[in-house]
Amino acid sequence: MKLDPKVPSGPLETKWSNYLRDVKLVSPNNKRKHKIIVVGTGLAGASAAASLAELGYNVQTFCITDSARRAHSIAAQGGINAAKNYQNDGDSVWRLFYDTIKGGDYRSRESNVYRLAENSNQIIDQAVAQGVPFGRDYGGLLDNRSFGGAQVSRTFYSRGQTGQQLLLGAYQAMMRMVHAGKIESYVRHEMLDLVVIDGKARGIITRDLVDGSINKWEADAVILCTGGYGNVFYLSTNAKNSNVTAAWRCHKRGAAFANPCFVQIHPTCIPVSGDYQSKLTLMSESLRNDGRVWVPRDPEDSRPPNEIPEEDRYYYLEERYPSFGNLVPRDVASRNAKLVTDDGMGVGDSGLAVYLDFRDAIKRDGKDAIKAKYGNLFDMYENITDDNPYEVPMRIFPAVHYTMGGLWVDYNLMSNIPGLFVAGEANFSDHGANRLGASALMQGLSDGYFIIPYTVGDYIAGEELPKVSKDHEAFDEAAKDSQEQLDKLLNVKGDKTVIEFHRELGKIMWDKVGISRSKEGLEQAIEEIRSLREEFWQNVRVPGDANYYNKYLEFAARVADYFELAELMALDALDRDESCGCHLRDEFQTEEGEAIRNDEKYAYVSAWEFLDVNGKLETKLHKEDLNFEFVELKQRSYK
């Protein structure tokens, strides 16, 4: 396997403009002759599909939900970053780049991150032109809020529903192209395999989730925008249908999987309430602008929070990180929540929660001001917990939220399989070992609106792409594989449900491959994952049949893939003998619990090649060395 990142040479500031200067173009007449498949219609997929169709390509989109508009991106709350510097507080493309690469703890490519920062401003322009109703000030100009990991105010927002509004903008742009006849949109279709012919991605296999039929689709390029794999933990803030299946099946066809162990655990989620829990709800990080995080200093203190006086409250983020305080990056905030609860200072019935308190902000700005900023989040919290956060502090705890790892891509966002592009959360590209808030929306839209349309064109213009037929044996083989796997799952007819297995897998992952990891724990996790995987294939019970709508069959196939991915995540975490970003290895930390990074040995992207699975996962590690030419690697400090 050869991994060439294909980063253009030259100064950081001109890499992308030089690339655009030299990019190969497809003539308008020829674009019409090419078909492109876009899998997933979240921010990355909808924006890519709309933009490619506007250019004249014939696009087919696929998604699991019953409308493209319902992709998981719809749930993003807090906002989207851009380097507009409307606040005149010293922001710039360089600073956004620098914050993002530092926030990622120097485990991402300089060139990609710089391009992301460069594209950020255009995204805001595009969204506003589509009618996205961003928050505005009295003068009618765009407003900003602050997010963790930055000292400037650069986050654009639509109340607490920024993802919804941006996605609707992209979805509407996509539907405009459906109307124009340039996009065929297939909803309730799940991709089950990638078809590779002569070494190039030439199509996909899907299952029609309504009638259960297995279908073949051919194309000149496939763009995977299928989101992240946080649901491997069972409980996460991801939507219930978020999954790794499309990416994993591509991995099994030869695409390298990069940095699988980099998982972001978001510090501000509503704590687990019982074992029936099906998902976790995020409380936007923007709440940390005004909310103060604390626990009682005395683990025995059982007074209601409002009766605990100032001197008995431990505002641990403010005390430990005086310059960033409550706005430290997510990994730091999550790790500290774990430290204080490990020390017995946690609150609530389970002891697995900390307070996020708005008392002082309400005193300072008034209830109305706080309500205007966070009203819908407060309502959501009250609805779920039955507590009123205007009166008593919220209880929060970290939860799995975002996966920085994903399929390996080069500067073109192309995987090592020619013709397979990967955009949005599904790729590994821009966030290193930790993602800063409000930067996933930015990345998905940068990929979809402003990168993919050029790089896919460059690929199509430069490749020989003879017509392929759906009767090609590679299509038949992949379709047969997909059908057989489903049949196999249905035929186990065991005693334990898919959800029971998934929950058990999630617990192993949370305990041993979660906020902190150790060599010993990871080795145990691998053993446990393997034996549970074996049990799964012998004892899972999947109801019904494959030839009609059957949600639990869909879940079963996804959980089967999680069982393989889970092992790879643990292996990757075991390989990385350092702590960086969200990856904290117990063995590599200072006495105060700060991460110890090892740039000499681990400044690389780990890219795993799939060899085979036969009870045991056979993989091979490849390393893409990260060369930092423009920034100096520093120990991150938010003190």
Partner 1 sequence: MSTMTINLKIWRQKNTEAKGEFQVYKLNDVNEHMSFLEMLDVLNENLIKEGKDPVEFDYDCREGICGSCNLVVNGRAHGPKRLTAVCQLHMRTYSDGDTIVIEPPRAAAFPVIKDLVVDRSAFDRIIEAGGYVSVKTGAAPEANLIPVQEEVANQAFDYATCIGCGACVAACPNSSASLFTASKLAHLNRLPQGKPEREKRTVAMVQQMEAEGFGDCSNYAECEAVCPVGISISSIAEMRKNYLKAIF
Ligand X SMILES: Cc1cc2nc3c(=O)[nH]c(=O)nc-3n(C[C@H](O)[C@H](O)[C@H](O)COP(=O)(O)OP(=O)(O)OC[C@H]3O[C@@H](n4cnc5c(N)ncnc54)[C@H](O)[C@@H]3O)c2cc1C
Smaller CB distance to partner 1: residue 14 or 273? 273
Which amino acid is located at 12 in the chain?
Answer: L
d(CA 155, CA 79): 6
Catalytic residue among 330, 558, 576, 585: 330
Return the range that interacts with ligand X (CB under 6 A); candidates 237-245, 367-375, 506-514, 565-573. 237-245
d(CA 422, CA 225): 6
Q: Identify what 489 binds: partner 1, ligand X, none; CB under 5 to 8 Å per kind.
A: none
Question: Could you count the other beta carbons within 10 Å of the beta carbon of residue 466?
Answer: 9
Question: Could you count the other beta carbons within 10 Å of the beta carbon of residue 235?
Answer: 21
- Provide the minimum distance between the beta carbon of 581 and partner 1 in the complex, in angstroms, as a whole number: 26
Choice from 127, 191, 295, 513 touching ligand X (CB under 6 A): 191
Which of 147, 149, 177, 4 lies closest to 77, judged by CA?
Answer: 147
- Provide the minimum distance between the beta carbon of 163 and ligand X in the complex, in angstroms, as a whole number: 5
Choice from 19, 62, 324, 536 touching ligand X (CB under 6 A): 62
Question: Could you count the other beta carbons within 10 Å of the beta carbon of residue 83?
Answer: 22
- Provide the minimum distance between the beta carbon of 72 and ligand X in the complex, in angstroms, as a whole number: 3
Choice from 65, 122, 153, 483 touching ligand X (CB under 6 A): 65
Smaller CB distance to ligand X: residue 160 or 296? 160
Structure token pair of residue 147 = 């997010």
234 DSSP assignment: S
Contact 352, 399 (CB under 8 A): no
Residue 260, interface with ligand X (CB under 6 A)?
Answer: no
Residue 449, interface with ligand X (CB under 6 A)?
Answer: no
> Could you give phi then psi for residue 413, rounded to 5 degrees?
65, 25
Which of 63, 389, 449, 404 lies closest to 229, judged by CA?
Answer: 404
Q: Identify what 579 binds: ligand X, partner 1, none; CB under 5 to 8 Å per kind.
A: none
- Provide the minimum distance between the beta carbon of 82 and partner 1 in the complex, in angstroms, as a whole number: 9
d(CA 98, CA 507): 36
Residue 76, interface with ligand X (CB under 6 A)?
Answer: yes
Q: How many CA atoms lie within 13 A of 311 on its CB side?
A: 0
SS (HEC) of 118-185: HHHHHHHHHHHHHCCCCCECCCCCECCECCCCCCCCCEECCCCCHHHHHHHHHHHHHHHHHHCCCEEE
Residue 119, interface with ligand X (CB under 6 A)?
Answer: no
Instruction: List, as one string, the DSSP characters of 342-398.
Output: HTT---STTS--EEEE-HHHHHHH-HHHHHHHHHHHHHHHHHHHS--TTTS-EEEEE
Smaller CB distance to ligand X: residue 430 or 609? 430
Choice from 18, 35, 56, 75 touching ligand X (CB under 6 A): 75
d(CA 409, CA 135): 34
Smaller CB distance to ligand X: residue 226 or 336? 226
Q: End-to-end CA distance of the chain, in Å?
A: 42
Smaller CB distance to partner 1: residue 275 or 473? 275
d(CA 383, CA 419): 46
Q: Give the footprint of ligand X on residues 79-98 (CB under 6 A).
A: 79-80
Smaller CB distance to ligand X: residue 164 or 579? 164
Smaller CB distance to ligand X: residue 440 or 569? 440
d(CA 600, CA 632): 13
- Provide the minimum distance between the beta carbon of 3 and partner 1 in the complex, in angstroms, as a whole number: 30
Q: Identify what 243 binds: partner 1, ligand X, none; CB under 5 to 8 Å per kind.
A: ligand X
Return the range that interacts with ligand X (CB under 6 A); candidates 65-73, 304-312, 411-419, 450-458. 65-73
Residue 237, interface with ligand X (CB under 6 A)?
Answer: yes
Q: How many residues bind ligand X (CB under 6 A)?
A: 44
Choice from 242, 326, 416, 606 touching ligand X (CB under 6 A): 242
Q: Identify what 399 binds: partner 1, ligand X, none; CB under 5 to 8 Å per kind.
A: none
Q: Give the footprint of ligand X on residues 272-301 (CB under 6 A).
A: 282
- Provide the minimum distance between the beta carbon of 441 and ligand X in the complex, in angstroms, as a whole number: 4
CA Rg value for the chain: 24
Q: Give, for 524, the enclosing helix (H) or strand (E).
A: helix 519-539
Choice from 77, 120, 185, 326 touching ligand X (CB under 6 A): 77
Contact 77, 162 (CB under 8 A): yes
Smaller CB distance to ligand X: residue 192 or 340? 192
Contact 390, 367 (CB under 8 A): yes
Which amino acid is located at 387 in the chain?
Answer: D
Smaller CB distance to partner 1: residue 8 or 135? 135
- Token match 């609106």: residue? 449
Smaller CB distance to ligand X: residue 74 or 603? 74
Contact 479, 470 (CB under 8 A): no
Our CA dihedral for 144, 14, 428, 74, rounded to 10 degrees, sits at 30
- Provide the minimum distance between the beta carbon of 244 and partner 1 in the complex, in angstroms, as a whole number: 16
Choice from 168, 219, 377, 441 touching ligand X (CB under 6 A): 441
330 assigned to active site? yes
Structure token pair of residue 568 = 């790879």
β strands within 374-453, DSSP E: 394-403, 406-407, 420-422
- Provide the minimum distance between the beta carbon of 374 and ligand X in the complex, in angstroms, as a whole number: 13
Choice from 134, 156, 171, 402 touching ligand X (CB under 6 A): 402
Q: Identify what 58 binds: ligand X, partner 1, none; CB under 5 to 8 Å per kind.
A: none
Choice from 118, 290, 357, 425 touching ligand X (CB under 6 A): 425
Q: Could you list the active site residues?
A: 330
- Interface contacts to ligand X, rule CB under 6 A: 39-45, 62-65, 71-73, 75-80, 162-163, 190-191, 225-227, 237-238, 242-243, 245-246, 282, 401-402, 424-426, 438-441, 444
